[in-house]
Every structure is written in C-alpha cells, then in structure tokens.
Structure 1
Amino acid sequence: MSWCAAALAVAAAATGCAGGDDGGRDRRDSSSRPRALTRRQELRVADAQQRLTAQCMDRHGFTYWEDRAPTLRESRPVRYVQDDVAWARAYGYGGRIEARNQRVRERNPIGTYRQGLSASRRAAFDTALDGGDGARMLTAPLPGGGEIRKRLGGCTEEAERELYGDPAAWFRTSKVVTGLDALYGERLMADPRLTAAVRAWARCTRRAGQPYGDPQAARDAVRVDTSRLGAARADEAFAAERRTAVADATCARETSLRSVAADRETYYLNRLRDRFGRDIDTYRNLGRRAYDRAVRIVPERD
C-alpha cells in the first residue's frame, strides 16, 4: 500500500469533528451533525448482524457459526499511524493478530459445513443466506468513478433490515462515504501541516534508531523483515516488530501526527459537504440506528 493510500485511512472514524481551518461557524455546525461510530460500536453492530443471521439460518434448518474473535483490545486497526504506545509494546503492528485471524478464516467452519452439504441443500443454504441466484442486486456509485454491486436477500437482508431499517440506503451511502477519499487524497498528502508532521515524526524515529521516512515505510520494512526471518525466527521478528512499532507510536504521540492527520482529513472532507453532506449524515444516522439495536442483541465484545 502506498503512503498516500495508507494515510487516507487514519481518520476514518474521526471525521465528525471540524478541521482547524473551517472557523467557528463550521465548528458550531458540526456539533449538531451525527457522529461516526467508534471502532467499539462498529464491532458490536457486526456481532449483532452475525447473531441475527445465525438465528435466521437456524430457522431455515442450517447451522451458522458466529465469529467474535479477536478481542476488543486486539481488534484495534493500526491503519496508517497509531499513537498507543502500550498497545504497540504488547502487539507491535498486530502482525501476530492478523496471522492468527488469517488462520481462522482459512479454517472457517461455515465453508466446510457448506461443502459437506448435498448439491440441493447447498443451493438451499445459499438461498437462505443471501437469496442465491435469485437475489436482487444493489448498485452504489463510487465518488471517484465507477460503481460497486452487492447481492442482497435471504438472512443477510433480514439481519441488515433489522439493524439499519433500509439495507439499500445503508449500502449506497456506506460506499459513497468510504470512497470520498478518492476526491481529496492528493490535496491531503500535499497539505503543509501534514507533511510537516511527517517530517517531525521521521526525525524523531531516526533518533530512536528507526530511520524511516513515514509510518508506512516502517511497517513495510517490518513486514519484509518478518518474511525474511521466517517461522524459525518468529520470536526474533516479533521483537523487532515491537521495537519499531513502539518508536513509531511514541513519535506519533510526540509530534501529534495522528491528530494532525485526522484534523486535516476532516477539513478536506468537510469541503465536500455541499455535494455529499446528505449521504454522510444518512450513513451516520443509519449506523447509529444499527448500534441502538445492536446493544439489545449482543453484549460488548470482551
């Protein structure tokens, strides 16, 4: 992933606050806007959707396994930069967590269960889950051009309707909002405040013995080193990953890189509100609706 693409994800959950250049009027306006869900809340919604899907599949006579791994603490996405030094000290960049998650995905019991069904039961399973070949197709335009499609039906639609109320509106607005970075990415990457913060971060990590130009370069180097050392030297690779991640997070905190990136992304996102404000607010309102229902369906992840 390029430095540009990676940095664009840093403030995905923080774009409910106005950027520094917007002035007092925009700060007042933003206070009345719906806020994006936190990662903790997003996980609870995802768990609720799995629970509702499993209950629906059970009514159709099929087994559906819910997945509530990893833990809430482990599930923190690093994205481009994170400044939680304690987390970095414990998990590095999350390399071992991701490797474990990948093994779980490869051993997904749902896929094994489905393959063990007869051809007719397998078709019935697919129809029950997402409508099968007869499901309707949803289409969402992408802000940067093109469109994305999704099949919707069966228990998937039932679960989404229970949570969001309008699955089609949720799909469309979620793809619009999460694709807005394509419209401001280049300007964000050239923003003087962000580039100054990155340079300060690089000076800080160099003093800590980690000479990288930006956080993505540090993570890329760790990934290459882990692959080079292999399974036989996995502990050595993880120790190195943790050292780099701790320096990264420490310097991100000292230079305020994460907050600067979030602030500048919010600034550029708010400049698109004249075109996409309704989509942003609808997306967040539907997310809030889903969370309000999720708290009555599943407990918070441990």
Structure 2
Amino acid sequence: MTSTPPQLPVPARALLARHRTAGALALCAAVLLSALTGCAPAPARPHVLSSADIIRTAQQQLTDRCLLRQGLTPPRPGRHARSEAEEQRMSGALFGSGRTELSLTLPTGYSVRAHTDGCLAAAQRSLYGDQRRWFHASTIVNNLKPEAAHGHDSLASVRDRHRADIAEWQRLRARALSRAKAQLTRRNQNTHRHQNTHRYQKENVSR
C-alpha cells in the first residue's frame, strides 16, 4: 500500500538575524561592563518532530535494520542507481513479493493492495500491532475525500458513515506513536552511551 503524506535561503532574513545577533551581543557587552555580569545568546530552540514525523522516522529505522540484516543498503535519495535485478530484490525485500494478501476495494471503485511480507509490513506490525487492521483503517481514512467527491456527499456525512474506521485509525495510530517514541528514546540513549564509552576510551588512551 502506498500513500502520499501531505508535504509538510532567504538572504534578507539572514541579514536581519545577523543584525539582531550583533545588537544582542552589544547589549551583553554593555551589561558586562556596567554590572560585571555576562550574558550569552539564548540557545536555539530544538526542532520538534510532529507525530507523523516521529512514526515515519521510527518506521524507517525498522525497515533499514530489516534490509541491513539481508545485506541490502537502505535506499536514499541521490544514491547511485542499481541494476534491474538489484531493484527487484530491493523492492521484494522492502514491499514484499508474490500475491498480495491484503486488498480493499473502495466505494470509488479503486482497489488498494498490500503484502504481509517484506520489511515495511514487519515495521507496521511492530508499530501498529495489527497490520491487517491498520491497512483497512488507514486506507479508508486516507480516501474519505475521494469517496465524498465520488458520491457527491459532504465530507461530514462520509466521516459519519466511517466513525468506527476513524476510531480504529486513531487507536492504532496512538499505539504506533507511543511505540515510536519509546523506540527513538532507546536509540538516543544507546547513541549517547556509545559516545560516552568512546570518549572514555579515547581519554584513557591519551593518558
């Protein structure tokens, strides 16, 4: 199953930012000279991931690990093109192969299909718990607007007809978000632990 998520250098702004920074530093210097106290620019606010980004990041980590275990390099934009055979192997490993086990025909007449094997399916089971339910609920929810347009209905009436599907989508997505946050937290902790161990070893060698 494929879906298209909504797509979430300005010299003038950069120049304005530099002027503001210079003004802030000048003010700090004045305060330092007059009151013998120091000040520093406020630290940049860390980038906060949206719920969708958190789930997407965790899902990519899971699919990357799955591909690496099979000796495959996870695909990334800008990487060199693979041969046709390599592309087929990558596609099968990532999206599954053979007969599609999941299928849903929408009121618009369009059919959506997905595999239950492959790294993406495994990642979805890990995050959402039940891939079959997530496939059904997410396919319905992602196509509410096309269904309304096809049936000349209001979006509100279509949403009302699919209250149960929307509730299921919300429940499964909340589960995925919780598991994704826990996964990313563990990864960050492991990264910090590795960095601290490396720094300790490096300091011991230099003594």
Within the alignment, does 1:128 sit opposite 2:93 as a pair? yes
1:153 is aligned to 2:117: yes
Change (3 A) 1:135 1:152: farther
Q: TM-score, normalised by structure 1?
A: 0.39
| Counterpart Cα distance in 2 of 1:281 and 1:162 | 20
Alignment deviations for residues 152-200 of structure 1 (CA, whole Å, 9 cap, x no partner)? 4221111111011111211111111222223444555xxxxxxxxxxxx
Moved over 6 A (4+): none
What SS class does the counterpart of residue 279 from structure 1 fall into? helix
Deviation track 1:197-226 (CA, whole Å, cap 9, x = no partner) reads xxxxxxxxxxxxxxxxxxxxxxxxxxxxxx
- CA distance 1:298–1:65, change in 2 (3 Å): farther
The answer to whether the 8 Å contact 1:177/1:280 transfers is yes
Distance 1:141 1:123 in 2: 27
Aligned to 1:175: 139
CA–CA distance in 1 between the matches of 2:114 and 2:75? 22
- Cα RMSD after superposing both structures: 3.0
* Aligned sequence identity (%): 29
In the alignment, the residues of structure 1 paired with residue 139 and residue 69 of structure 2 have an alpha-carbon distance, to the nearest angstrom, of 31
> Which of the residues 57, 61, 64 maps onto 1:51?
61
Q: CA deviation at 1:136?
A: 3.1
Instruction: Judge conservation of contact 2:100–2:116 (CA < 8 Å) in 1.
Output: yes
- Which residue among 163, 179, 198 is the counterpart of 1:293? 179
Query: Contact 2:100–2:113 (CA<8 Å) still a contact in 1?
Result: no
Q: 1:135, 1:44 → 2: CA distance? A: 31
Unaligned residue ranges in structure 2 (runs of 5+): 1-5, 7-48, 186-207
Query: 2:95 touches 2:115 (CA, 8 Å); kept in 1?
Result: yes
Alpha-carbon distance change, 122 to 272 in structure 1, aligned in 2, over 3 angstroms? closer
TM-score, L = length of structure 2: 0.55
**Offset of 1:297 from its aligned partner?**
2.2
- Aligned 1:37-186 pairs, distance under 5 A: 40-65=50-75, 105=77, 107=78, 109=79, 112=81, 115-116=82-83, 119=85, 123-132=88-97, 134=98, 136-185=100-149, 186=152
Structure with the larger RCO, 1 or 2 (CA within 8 Å, 6+ apart): 1
**Helix, strand or coil: the match of 1:57?**
helix
Instruction: Count matched residues.
Output: 137
Q: Which has the larger radius of gyration?
A: 2
